[in-house]
Structure 1
Amino acid sequence: MHTPVPPSRLNAPSIISASCILGLLYAGRPMLQPIVLAAVLSLLVAPLVRTLSQYGIRRVPATLTALLLAGAAAAGTGAILAAQLVSVTSELPQYQAALLRKAEQLRTRAERPLAWLEAGLNHGAELAPDTGSEQPLQPAGAHQPVPVEIRPPHPSTGDTLARLFSLVWGPIGEAGLVLVLLLFILLEHESLRDRLIRLAGQTQTSRTVRALADAAHGVSRFFFSQFVVNAAFGVAIGLALWAFGVPHAILWGALSALLRFVPYLGALGSGAIITAFTAAIDPGWTLTLSCAGLFAIVELVVANLVEPKVYGHSTGISPLAVVISALFWGTLWGPVGLLISTPLTVCLVVAGRHVRALEPLSILLGEAPSVTGAQRFFQRALSGETGAILHDAAAYLRRASFARYCDHILLPGLALAVADLRTGQIDTLQQEHIRSTIADVAESLAPSTATAGRARRRRHVSLLDANVGAHLRQLREARLGRWQGSLDVPQRSIVLCAGLALERDDLVSELLARALREAGVDARSIALPLPHEEHGPDKAKLVSTVFIPYPLGDVLEAWTEAMARLRMLLPHAILVTIRAPQDEMAAPDQAVQPHVDMVLRSFEEGLAFVAPQHPASA
């Protein structure tokens, strides 16, 4: 079984390097912000450029056309919002007076519950003796000082325009710089990709191309998903406000959609603005509370149900990583970092899949944890989390068979447990948890009787059992009889799952028998060697196939003797052994193959061999 190589451990050089990188990111943000923002926007506009190029438009005209279309869309949206804002601005005086009245009402209601406490404290102060010194009286006729107030001169029109220009010039200059960088990045898109591939080296060409494609695809999917979600959110809010009779519903819906592009803070800001506006136009509180409650419900549904699924699947990062990235980049680069936090994190996660130094970022921030189903089973079995294992297994079995579950999760997970047990890393309590988990999983997922829906009383498996496979076989025999079923069956209809009287072989045989019975095969598990007196010729004709676990090197001699006895007692049966990929200490093939008729590699192959009419998986 392939085991992923663990990432390098943290050490002093790596910590120092990371600290230097963070310092450079913080100190160089005036220069890095426009470059990174332009690079992220280029990933957004690049699909439009490629689409135009497919229609025969050359690279430069396609780039200019894409920028013009994007700019026209932004300008049109801005013009509509500006017209709505002008209309709202003309009504600000009356809205301001209404908001002041509402604020006074809220202050009065908030202070009323504490009035009795203040009155009690003042009453106690009056009863207490005054030990302080009295202020000296001012002599009669004394003149009081006259306060002097200094008022700045009224600004002239030129000063106002200069101040307005200084405020606007900064954002306009940065936007222009970003636009110029975006234009050149789009024009040099192919050249920049070739340079990065060349910089990575000839031996890393395929990995670099794949990383660049994954990053571009991930960021493009994120922006598209974000646009769809925010647009739907804005439409829902706008329609709801229009239904409530709130003026300028289009403005507030569009504002809600636009502000949601700023993670977390944007939704809070738009909600506060809508609440304040409805409070200003509502004589009472009914409309205000209704709109605020509706906004909160829609935001909670979108943020907790829609976005984690849509953004997680579209970006490849976990919902928690979205929050952490917004906090990190917002702290590091301010509003710009908050706006592009998710695309930057997507790029880092993609880079972590291909660059070993960044692999910890991919593990911590990626959508799916970098553990296999077998590793998750082993980790939960160590802590006795049987409920979580059964929940995941039930979901797995809805699309696959129990045989596949054993091949891909249960048996590889047990192989991990065996490897740690040999090195002494598993204590007694953890061994008990693993045994109990295996028994519960086998009994719950592949019960030994057909009454799977009935409630079953599970016996606790402790270290006294020492053999989970034998325990499971005893449960079957207690329900179905010594022969685990009737012997009045057609000839060559029984499949035996036999193994040496070892814990490993008993468990594998019992799991295989349950996987076969799930598919409708009359499978029964036994322990080798078979006694002569209980397996006469009449019973031998009932058996068609015997499955035997592949032997380990230290029991090869006993296994060979058991095979010879099987050949003698069941001369017409087909002997099949199953060698799982995780059997690292298995005996050599040349020592095993002469004693069996076939060597298979999985439970699914065994199921397909004896029951081809039953599909191995759904």
Structure 2
Amino acid sequence: MDAQQRSYLAFLRFFTALLLVAALYFAQEVLVPLALSALLAFMLNPLVKLLCRCRLPRTLSVVIVTMLVFTLMGCVFWMVGKELHHLANALPNYRHNIQERVSAVRNASEGGTIARLRSMVADISTSALDVSAGRQKAVSPSAPASTTPADQPPSPPDKTTPAPQPAPPPVEGGMASKILNGSLAFLANGLGVAAVVIVFVIFMLLRQEDISHRIVGLAGFSRLTTTSRAMDEIGGRISRYLLMLATVNSLYGVMLAIGLAFIGLPYVLLWGVLAALFRFIPYIGPWIVAVLPIGLSLAVFDGWTQPLMVAGLIIGLELLTNMVLEPLLYGHSVGVSDFALLVAITFWTWLWGGLGLVLATPLTVCIVVICKYIPSLAWVDVLMGEKQPPQAHLMAFRRLVAGDEDAFQSTIQESFEKNGVEATLDQVVLPALVLTRREAMLGKLDEEEQKEVIETIQATSQYLRECQAEAMDEARETEAAAAAEAEEKEKKENEENLENSDAVTPVAEVSTADEPVPPPIPVFARALHGQVDALALEMLEILLPPQIELQVSADDRLIGELVENLNESRPALMIISAMRPGSIMAAETLCRRLHHKIPGLKLLVCRWGLPGQQSTAKSLKDAGATWVATTLEEARNVIVEATDVQLSP
């Protein structure tokens, strides 16, 4: 794909995204009730399944759940409306307390910092006005003297001039009519949306299987497994999250209402329901609704004790909910990073207003899960997903390319101390070498940069070899010390037995002569791509037992010379190092030729790649390979099994 085609595809994707956002914005009157219905259907589906497990028909289960839930919601909203009406009528009774609070704040500011700042601003303003007036007096010509003597009183106003009449009071009928009409229209619109949502929820719960089959059919049978997994994950994750979130919010509202009732604050049902509803809005919802009971406590109570108790109750419940209830029931998150969730909340609020603020979390979860199963959109899961797999090799390679050897060595040292030599070589150093070869083949690394990176990796490999040797020496010393201690203990026990026995039995002396060291087991290795494959084989050699002698060949010898060398040395097996990318054709050709020339030869093909990268084992095994390995651990295990050598503990 050339640069022009890539630019065209990028523009096409950007234009498609703009069209999608425009469609979401202009079709919100249809999409918002549909999204809200899907949200409620996800929330109620576990309850329907619970009744179905009790051998009730699904239709009856849906009817029971929807009737109970929507009846309960209607009763709660009716009671909240009644409480709100009583609060609106009672607010004028608290006018005196509100005025006293304002006066107290104003008196506290007098004589303090605020008063000093206000006085300073007033002095500066007065000085500026005086200076401006003086300049105008100096520049302007002298004004003519007044014809009226100074001691003469001003003439009375002309009685013939009509006095200004006060403006007529505004007619309040038109404004009240407008407010009434607007309220009725808003109420009718809300009732209409609620009716549509209820119908959609019932339909989605009744036709869940049918909707799932239609979505799978729309995606195509070629994506049957992927679509099924995505739908199961979306349904399971969002249903569990919403049900647990509703449970947590309900408990929070009940506890807040009970606490406020003990403090003595009126209208506790209103504050409990509002707190439970606003907690569906992530991060900012609880603190928005917290202002209302605190403000009412300032107006209702005379002192400061009860308002402080209300604020303390809200803070304590938030800490209890965030640290105990949420981790216990469903955890802190739904698989989306905090920053991505904040961005998503901002986007959906801008797009759909207040309902978008409520729907932001479940909609974002759906998008992240769907994009995770679409290869071309996997970057969305990388950017917005909460927990990504560790990418130590990427960090190491970036530091290598940047020439920051200290930071690279720090990454290696941290991985070595945490995971050991084998995991560091397999998960950090070798993948960094694979990335080096890939970037060099793409032309993004020149020869000099590639040489520097390979030299640094080679030095790191040598350092890890020394660490492995030190660890093995320490293990041998520990084993020898344990053997010597056991021998000394056995010797003392024998001496005690001889002293206690009547007859003297000659004790055979244990031969301390060194046992014969078995000859090393030869294993031949061929590096297809010279230095990079030879370096990978050196890393493999670090992990092999000392009984295995690895003979690495990195020169471009002919197949006849290679076969002759193999016939002379008779190795236990032959290793072909074929690092990605590419090299698959060369590895298959070499396997075929060796298998034809030496039929009984065991072949291990090492297709070194990145963590999680799949191997093309079938074509290599068809060409004659006995084993195919992608990691150092797999290759080491194959070699140990083929040579029948015991690994040291």
Residues 151 and 17 of structure 1: is their aligned pair in 2 closer, same or farther, counting only changes over 3 Å?
same
Paired amino acid for 1:65: I
CA–CA distance in structure 2, aligned partners of residues 395 and 64 of structure 1:
60
Corresponding residue for residue 227 of structure 1: 246
Q: Deviations over 1:491-530 (max 9, x none)?
A: 35999999899854675466446556xxxxxx5xxxxxxx
* 1:177 Cα deviation from its structure 2 partner: 1.4
* 1:27 Cα deviation from its structure 2 partner: 1.5
For the Cα contact (< 8 Å) 2:397–2:435, is it kept in 1?
yes
Corresponding residue for residue 491 of structure 1: 517
* 1:67 Cα deviation from its structure 2 partner: 0.6
* 1:361 Cα deviation from its structure 2 partner: 3.7
CA–CA distance in structure 2, aligned partners of residues 490 and 278 of structure 1:
91
* 1:47 Cα deviation from its structure 2 partner: 2.7
Corresponding residue for residue 101 of structure 2: 102
Of 138, 148, 173, the match for 2:167: 148
Corresponding residue for residue 120 of structure 2: 117
* 1:12 Cα deviation from its structure 2 partner: 2.9
Q: What are the equivalent positions in structure 2 for 1:35-46 lying under 5 Å apart?
A: 35-46=34-45
Report the structure number with the largest CA radius of gyration: 2
| Residue 544 (structure 1) aligned with residue 547 (structure 2) | yes
CA–CA distance in structure 1, aligned partners of residues 439 and 285 of structure 2:
50
* 1:75 Cα deviation from its structure 2 partner: 3.9
For the Cα contact (< 8 Å) 1:496–1:545, is it kept in 2?
yes
Corresponding residue for residue 206 of structure 1: 225
* 1:182 Cα deviation from its structure 2 partner: 1.9
* 1:196 Cα deviation from its structure 2 partner: 2.5
Q: Which range moved further: 224-233 or 317-326?
A: 224-233
| Residue 24 (structure 1) aligned with residue 13 (structure 2) | no
* 1:332 Cα deviation from its structure 2 partner: 0.9
Q: Deviations over 1:100-147 (max 9, x none)?
A: 44345445638424223223214414642343799x999632565232
Paired amino acid for 2:120: L
Q: What are the equivalent positions in structure 2 for 1:41-60 lying under 5 Å apart?
A: 41-60=40-59
Paired amino acid for 1:55: C
Corresponding residue for residue 347 of structure 2: 328
Residues 150 and 184 of structure 1: is their aligned pair in 2 closer, same or farther, counting only changes over 3 Å?
same
**5+ residue gaps, structure 1:** 1-6, 439-465, 517-522, 524-542
Paired amino acid for 2:209: E
| Residue 349 (structure 1) aligned with residue 368 (structure 2) | yes
SS in 2 for 1:56: coil
Residues 150 and 324 of structure 1: is their aligned pair in 2 closer, same or farther, counting only changes over 3 Å?
same
SS in 1 for 2:547: strand
| Residue 604 (structure 1) aligned with residue 608 (structure 2) | no
* 1:64 Cα deviation from its structure 2 partner: 1.0
Corresponding residue for residue 183 of structure 1: 202
CA–CA distance in structure 2, aligned partners of residues 431 and 251 of structure 1:
71
Q: Deviations over 1:170-221 (max 9, x none)?
A: 2112111111122223233222223333333343333333332232223213
SS in 2 for 1:20: helix
Paired amino acid for 1:93: P
For the Cα contact (< 8 Å) 1:363–1:369, is it kept in 2?
yes
SS in 2 for 1:262: coil
Q: Deviations over 1:397-420 (max 9, x none)?
A: 3xxx64345334432332012221
CA–CA distance in structure 2, aligned partners of residues 257 and 233 of structure 1:
6
Q: Deviations over 1:315-361 (max 9, x none)?
A: 33322221121111111111112211222222222332344665554
CA–CA distance in structure 2, aligned partners of residues 417 and 20 of structure 1:
40
CA–CA distance in structure 1, aligned partners of residues 300 and 417 of structure 2:
52
For the Cα contact (< 8 Å) 1:197–1:208, is it kept in 2?
yes
Residues 293 and 192 of structure 1: is their aligned pair in 2 closer, same or farther, counting only changes over 3 Å?
same
SS in 2 for 1:315: coil
Residues 56 and 307 of structure 1: is their aligned pair in 2 closer, same or farther, counting only changes over 3 Å?
closer
Of 185, 193, 198, the match for 1:174: 193
CA–CA distance in structure 2, aligned partners of residues 495 and 284 of structure 1:
90
Corresponding residue for residue 364 of structure 1: 383
Q: Which range moved further: 556-565 or 190-199?
A: 556-565
| Residue 338 (structure 1) aligned with residue 354 (structure 2) | no
CA–CA distance in structure 2, aligned partners of residues 422 and 163 of structure 1:
68
| Residue 64 (structure 1) aligned with residue 94 (structure 2) | no
Q: What are the equivalent positions in structure 2 for 1:426-437 lying under 5 Å apart?
A: 426=445
* 1:429 Cα deviation from its structure 2 partner: 6.8
Paired amino acid for 1:140: P
Paired amino acid for 1:271: A
Corresponding residue for residue 589 of structure 1: 591
Q: What are the equivalent positions in structure 2 for 1:90-489 lying under 5 Å apart?
A: 91-106=90-105, 109=109, 111-125=114-128, 127-128=130-131, 129-130=133-134, 131=136, 140-141=156-157, 144-153=163-172, 164-231=183-250, 233-234=252-253, 252-281=271-300, 283=302, 288=307, 292=311, 295=314, 315-355=334-374, 358-368=377-387, 374-375=393-394, 377-379=396-398, 381-383=400-402, 384=404, 385-386=407-408, 389=411, 393=415, 397=419, 402-426=421-445, 438=457, 467-470=459-462
SS in 2 for 1:340: helix
Q: Deviations over 1:556-575 (max 9, x none)?
A: 8899599769949xxxx966
Residues 61 and 166 of structure 1: is their aligned pair in 2 closer, same or farther, counting only changes over 3 Å?
same
**5+ residue gaps, structure 2:** 1-5, 149-153, 481-513, 605-626
Q: Deviations over 1:552-597 (max 9, x none)?
A: 68468899599769949xxxx9667485774853752356686976
* 1:473 Cα deviation from its structure 2 partner: 5.3
Corresponding residue for residue 493 of structure 2: none
For the Cα contact (< 8 Å) 1:578–1:603, is it kept in 2?
no
For the Cα contact (< 8 Å) 2:279–2:285, is it kept in 1?
yes
Identical pairs, percent? 25
Paired amino acid for 1:141: P
For the Cα contact (< 8 Å) 2:526–2:577, is it kept in 1?
no
Aligned length: 544
Residues 327 and 417 of structure 1: is their aligned pair in 2 closer, same or farther, counting only changes over 3 Å?
same
Q: Deviations over 1:5-43 (max 9, x none)?
A: xx9985333333322222222112112222222233222
CA–CA distance in structure 2, aligned partners of residues 334 and 172 of structure 1:
18
RMSD (Å) for aligned C-alpha atoms = 5.1
SS in 2 for 1:421: helix
Paired amino acid for 1:189: Q
Q: Deviations over 1:39-94 (max 9, x none)?
A: 33222222322332233322322221121132244245446656765675565334
SS in 1 for 2:386: coil
Q: Which range moved further: 332-341 or 238-247?
A: 238-247
Corresponding residue for residue 488 of structure 2: none
For the Cα contact (< 8 Å) 2:523–2:573, is it kept in 1?
no
SS in 2 for 1:146: coil
For the Cα contact (< 8 Å) 1:378–1:416, is it kept in 2?
yes
For the Cα contact (< 8 Å) 2:438–2:580, is it kept in 1?
no
Structure that is richer in helix per residue:
2
CA–CA distance in structure 2, aligned partners of residues 306 and 46 of structure 1:
22
Q: Which range moved further: 354-363 or 321-330?
A: 354-363
Paired amino acid for 1:330: T
Paired amino acid for 2:91: L
